[in-house]
Structure 1
């Protein structure tokens, strides 16, 4: 949906090395028959590259569906990471003309995200600290910043493995199943915050030209898809809706940190509405969706 990075030949090659995917912060090039190199655009954050390598190796070591990372490399004056090549396309391409197939695929993604959250995250940065930094620098009026920081202060720090950017553009559909890429935002944190981020991206992440995202049917469809995703995660995990709802305001404000997006105005209006709600209000949530009651155990993983 945003920043799709294909690990297959899903887009026309650029001049020079065989480019097989591109996003806002990086490009992906074929390197031999079974590897790809993800090269970061200039300027880049060295910490993000190191974090992506560490998180990718950690997740792969736990047996999660993540491409194996071989190490940091340099190519033509640029820095990147060498990965195993996946034979597939992003979900945004795979299900572009199959919306009915998208829903069960999203349910599988939700189960993968739940499996990720069962794993510890030793050595990864704090999700809580990262959100605070982003909220402090977000493009929002000061009252909304204060409300988001106050909400963040009430929320748990957490120590679970969190991807930080689970959405269809970061999921590669292969013959062997779905694989999750782009781990540069991974952290140790609270699973509910990670799900709130996925929900946010499904509703407000970049999707084609600005005029397309503003169409009423598109906005309604994205709202329903986001609610379906949250319901799927809750069905797998038993996480109560109020746990996710508590993170919606700080996560949404953090999204307005960094480069502007076509959906910023819509998101800012939603943030203002969230800030007017009581912190513990579930029924009034703009994002509320159905789901099961708490109590479901963690998946068998990462022991």
Structure 2
């Protein structure tokens, strides 16, 4: 099942010999034999680009497995960042049909994430403030929003370096080892929040078409993979399970900010379950009704 899960990760088609990758917000092009340029799609947020450059340089300066960032560049009216080129496939492709290899690689990623959290994050935005803004604009009913904000208010701000989006799709498997890319969402915050985000993406992030993600065996596999990742991080860090669990509701609600996804309904159902356990949620009567989902607002 892990093999099938990995094989359904969509790969963007190449549009030319120089394009080597693409995502929702950017495209990556070869720039000579040993560099690449990550060009952001229009329109883009200048603050996010500047943040990725600053965070990448900060992480590389600490000796973390991160590609070196050389600076901002312009290409055909677009803004981008020039990076050293990493030779190797994404982790999702490298371990597509190697379940044991995938689990061992996830354990290495968890250790990398723990090493990231050992570093300070001077000059980066506050993860706590970022989550508050995302929760305020999330596509959820008001009772869920208020429960998430109340939970967030009780959680520590933190000052550690947090990547903000650690998952296999942002890891490149090179001969020298695993390298973590895409530092656009990096911030200063509590490590437990960063791990909760990784757990959420492993369990509910988009992998393939919506019908595939809804298959029972796929959902079970993803739940087990997410649990394995959290256990691997806790083994490396000693972080209590409860510390990560406390962040699940605000992190999950923040995920419903921005572009809609075909996994929104499943995530909203999970948020409802989390909220029902929260002391901040005013009983089940605030929901749409027995057995009903509140729906996206």
- Deviation of residue 279 (structure 1)? 5.9
After superposition, the CA RMSD in angstroms is 1.8
Q: Which residue of 2 aligns with 1:140?
A: 140
> Counterpart in 2 of 1:75?
75
Partner of 2:269: 269
Question: Alpha carbons of 1:77 and 1:140: their partners in 2 closer, same or farther (altered >3 Å)?
Answer: same
State whether residues 196 and 247 of structure 1, in contact with CA within 8 Å, keep that contact through their aligned partners in structure 2.
Answer: yes
1:5-44 equivalences in 2 (<5 Å) = 13-15=14-16, 18-44=18-44
Go from structure 1 to structure 2 and tell me whether the alpha carbon gap of 1:11 and 1:43 turns closer, same or farther (over 3 Å shift). Answer: closer
> Residues 21 and 28 of structure 2 are in contact (CA less than 8 Å); yes or no, is this contact kept in structure 1?
yes
Work out whether residues 246 and 279 of structure 1, in 8 Å CA contact, stay in contact via their aligned partners in 2: no
Q: CA deviation at 1:176?
A: 0.3
Offset, 1:14 = 1.4
Per-residue CA deviation, residues 166-218 of structure 1 (Å, 9 max, x unaligned), is: 00000000000000000000000000000000000000111011111111100
Shift of 1:240: 0.1
Structure 1: distance between partners of 2:261 and 2:13 = 25
Matching of residues 153-302 of structure 1 within 5 Å: 153-278=153-278
Unaligned segments of structure 1, at least 5 residues: 3-9, 281-303
Residues 129-188 of structure 1: CA deviation (Å, up to 9, x unaligned):
000000000000000000000000000000000000000000000000000000000000
Distance in 2 between residues matched to 1:201 and 1:163, nearest whole Å: 13
State the match for 1:293 in structure 2.
Answer: none
- 2:43 is paired with a residue of what secondary structure? coil
- Per-residue deviation, 1:273: 0.4
Q: Secondary structure at the residue paired with 1:39?
A: strand
Residues 46-75 of structure 1: per-residue CA shift (max 9 Å, x gap): 000000000000000000000000001000
User: For 1:225 and 1:123, how far apart are their aligned partners in 2?
Assistant: 33
How many residues are treated as equivalent by the alignment?
274
Q: How many Å separate the matches in 1 of 2:79 and 2:180? A: 21
TM-score normalised by the chain length of structure 2: 0.90
Q: Could you list the structure 1 runs, at least 4 aligned residues long, displaced by more than 3 angstroms after superposition.
A: 10-13
**In the aligned structure 2, how far is the partner of 1:75 from the partner of 1:97?**
37
Once the two structures are TM-superposed, the CA of residue 98 in structure 1 deviates from its matched residue by 1.3
Q: Distance in 2 between the 1:49 and 1:237 partners?
A: 30
> 8 Å contact 2:147–2:278 — kept in the other structure?
no
Contact 1:204 1:267 in 2 (8 A): yes
User: Where does 1:35-114 land on structure 2 (aligned, <5 Å)?
Assistant: 35-114=35-114
How many Å apart are 1:278 and its aligned residue? 4.0
Cα displacement (A) at 1:229: 0.1
Distance 2:185 2:99 in 1: 28
Cα distance in 2 for partners of 1:165, 1:139 equals 20
Q: 2:121 matched to which residue of 1?
A: 121
| C-alpha contact 1:65 1:179 (8 A) present in aligned 2 | yes
Question: How far apart, CA to CA, are the structure 1 residues paired with 2:208 and 2:110?
Answer: 24
Q: Following the alignment from structure 1 to structure 2, what is the Cα–Cα distance between the partners of residues 213 and 13?
A: 25
Q: Cα distance, 1:13 vs. partner?
A: 3.4
Pick closer, same or farther for the CA change 1:67–1:258 going to 2, 3 Å: same
